[in-house]
Amino acid sequence: MSKPSDFFIYNNNRYNGDFTPQHLVFNSNLQEFTQRVSFICSLETAGKLTPEESYQQIKALWKGLKRSKKQLGIGEQVSNDGNGELGE
C-alpha cells in the first residue's frame, strides 16, 4: 500500500484521450518522462547537477520517449488502400 506522500511524488493523471492500449502505455511513459525531467531540473537548480549533466540526462530520457513512441506506433496512420499496412 502506498503512503499518502507517494501520491504527490508520483502523481499520475487519469487518461482521458482516445483509448487504445498503445495510447495508455505512451501516456504513462510521457507522465514518467515529465516527472523525471522535473526532478532533474530541481536537482540542477539546487546545484546537485551541472547544466551539462542535466542536459545529457534529459536528452537520454527524450530518446527513450521517442523510442517508445515509435515502438508503440503512435502517430502512424493506416493507409487508405484497405490492406491495413501502416503509412508514413
Enclosing H/E stretch for 36: helix 21-45
CA distance 71 to 84: 17
The answer, yes or no, to whether residue 1 has pLDDT greater than 50, is no
Residue 15 pLDDT greater than 90, yes or no: no
Domain ranges of the chain: 20-70
∠ CA 47-48-52, nearest 5°, is 80
Instruction: Quick: pLDDT tens for 31-71.
Output: 999 999 999 999 999 999 999 999 999 999 999 999 999 99
User: pLDDT-derived band of residue 88, with 50, 70 and 90 as boundaries?
Assistant: very low
pTM of the entire predicted model? 0.71
